[in-house]
Chains A and B, each alone.
Chain A
Amino acid sequence: MIKRSFFKSKYLPYLLIFPQMVVTLTFFYWPAIQGIFQSFLLSDPFGRRSQFVWFYNYIELFTDPLYLKSIFITFTFSIAVAFVSISLGLFIASMANRALRAKALIRTMLIWPYAVAPAISGIMWLFLLHPSYGIVALGIKKWLGVNWNPVLYGSDAMVMIVMASAWKQVSYNFVFFMAGLQAIPKSLIEASAIDGAGPFRRFWTITFPLLSPTFFFLTVMNIIYSFFETFGIIHTVTQGGPGGSTNILVYKVYQDGFVGLNLGSSAAQSVVLMSLIMVITFLQFRFVEKKVQYSG
């Protein structure tokens, strides 16, 4: 789309878009092409010789049980993070929306974890859930009777990174649910109250359905968050361990590429991730975006 009234100039528009094109080409398109090209190559770890092998890297990848496990782990992890953080975010937001007093203060107290770096969230939860010093770990051991040890047990480590990742994301979801809740017309709520619906009934029959676009949108955003931005958490907290039980796809790309120097495989994994992101983006624009009704 363009404005009905616009400027005419021979060189100026190109000059203005030039910086954007330069960064996009050098840091998106060229690396992406390089990555796709590299994913068809098999090279020795020093990068001296390489051989064109067609889809060998991809076949290797999808027959590698470690990679399949990593896919499974990533999906488990992202669904858990999305579920925990969205339900908590919705719960707190609907409470905050009910509150009549101190609204601004409540909002302030709830949004700041968004600004905490994932890696720092990881450090704090590492301490809270530390098998010998952590106070939360102590509580788990005492009250739930679980022999908690994320250093040894994969499932415990998974719970730990889910907590560290979801904690930070609660405030993100909170902001969006608050905006969504405030956009719901008061008259609807009042009308149903006059018809005799109580607060809970109103929530489930009016508020919740009207929030569904926000809900879909947040599901997508939270899954993308847990796919990529949680790298810092994995790297500080578990390093993919114990025994690869928290080795999510992004971390595996890093490990295989930069630590293991298996360049072809790492490139193939990048391409798989890129296609995955494109599918998610496409789905979002195609199906979610249309039904969304944001503030207004």
Chain B
Amino acid sequence: MVEKTPLLDFFTYAFLILGIFVVGFPIIYSLIAATLPLEEVSKIPMPLIPGDQFMVNMKEAWSRGNLGAQILNSFIMASGITIGKITVSMIGAFSIVYFDYRFRIVIFASVFCTLMLPVEVRILPTYEMAANVLSPLQVLWDFLHLDSLISWFSGHDISVTLNWCLLDSYTGLILPLVASATCTFLFRQFFLTVPEELCEAAKIDGASPMMFFRKILFPLSKTNIAALVVIEFVYGYNQYLWPLLVTTNPKMTTAVIGLQNLIPQADDLPEWNLALGAAVLVMLPPVLVVLFMQRWFVKGLIEKEK
């Protein structure tokens, strides 16, 4: 820094180490708990020396919590959301930035309006929507009295029910969360900074719009895509409310929600070693993604939110 301040430097490092310790403490403590047998973990206070029951506890938690299947579900959901969001929003932003057409402004405004509305504020109607995605069409159908129209034409009584239920399916877990304006907005901002000359040159060389997208825009966006992959994967994996609503079948539950079943309640054996072991295991995938892709994560976080 500017001047020499040995005392302050000492406190800086002391506080940093303290800070790192405080931030890491819940995890360290959970890890220790996961290595202890039940008698030890329910001692007051719990000993801070790791035991040797780690593998035993993990195995028990793994089978009791059905973690394998649930982590797989979480993975599918998180990847689906990530890929879906990025694909949908990238081509959407391409359309908004690089084309001139009649409803461009209207479309952009309508997408932009949804920027800050999280799924949490519209849970009930979105749930009803997921229970039958075709319900708007059904309303239209009924409104136009197409039933009686067809009956009249064909001479038979016909009633049409449109039903496509997304509950308890991967589509239901993924699709409603793909709807997000933030990524579209981010790609739009980025495309606007791409030099005009590139598009000009591509046009002179006779490239079609899709060719320009594939050969020029996509390679240029690679770092942005990497950053978004990290952010969206973490977002998707850690979803709570939506999977809680959409899945009732235990086979479709995601890992973060499944953990709830392992928490000891008042009358149960206090098997915190299993609950915490499972918790550490379940949190691992997104934590690893963030740690190994740290550079993109920081970039993505800062760009996305501003």
Contact = CB atoms under 8 A, between A and B. Distances in A.
Q: What is the predominant secondary structure among interface residues of chain A facing chain B?
A: helix
A287 interface: no
Interface stretch (A13-21, A57-65, A67-75, A76-84): A13-21
Which of B2, B127, B212, B298 neighbours the largest number of chain A CB atoms within 10 Å of its CB?
A: B2
A274 B126 CA distance: 13
Contacts of A5: 196, 199-200, 203
A97 to B, nearest CB: 9
Q: Kindly state the interface size class of chain B when it binds its partner.
A: 35 or more
A179 to B, nearest CB: 5
A199 to B, nearest CB: 6
Interface in B61-116: 87-89, 91-92, 94-101, 104, 107, 110-111, 114-116
B36 to A, nearest CB: 12
A70 B200 CA distance: 57
A16 B26 contact: no
Interface in A7-54: 7-9, 12-14, 16-17, 19-21, 23-24, 26-32, 34-35, 38
A24 B181 contact: yes
A6 B111 contact: no
Contacts of A9: 99, 209
Contact of A111 (B95, B107, B259, B297): B297
B78 to A, nearest CB: 11
A113 B104 contact: no
Contacts of A99: 12-13, 16
B26 A30 contact: no
Contacts of A199: 1, 5, 8
B104 to A, nearest CB: 7
B5 A123 contact: no
Contact of A2 (B100, B118, B209, B306): B100
A215 interface: no
B215 to A, nearest CB: 14
Contacts of A257: 123-124
Nearest to A258: B245
A34 to B, nearest CB: 4
B121 interface: yes
Interface of A: 1-9, 12-14, 16-17, 19-21, 23-24, 26-32, 34-35, 38, 88, 91-92, 95-96, 98-100, 106-121, 123-128, 130, 132-133, 135, 138, 167, 170-172, 175-176, 179, 189-190, 193, 199, 217, 221, 224, 228-229, 231-232, 235-236, 250, 253-254, 257-258, 263, 266-267, 270, 273-274, 277-278, 280-281, 292, 294-295
6 nearest CB pairs, A to B? A232-B240, A31-B125, A16-B95, A20-B92, A13-B99, A117-B238
Interface of B: 1-3, 5, 8-9, 12-13, 15-16, 19-20, 23-24, 26-27, 29-30, 33, 41-42, 44-46, 87-89, 91-92, 94-101, 104, 107, 110-111, 114-118, 120-129, 133, 135-136, 175-176, 178-179, 181, 184, 191-192, 196, 199-200, 203, 209-210, 212, 234, 237-238, 240-241, 244-245, 256-257, 259-260, 263, 270, 272, 275-276, 279, 282-283, 286-287, 289-291, 294, 297-298, 301-302, 305-306
23 contacts: A3-B97, A3-B191, A24-B179, A26-B136, A28-B179, A31-B126, A32-B122, A96-B16, A111-B290, A124-B27, A124-B29, A127-B275, A167-B26, A170-B23, A193-B3, A229-B118, A235-B244, A250-B121, A257-B124, A258-B124, A270-B125, A277-B118, A294-B306
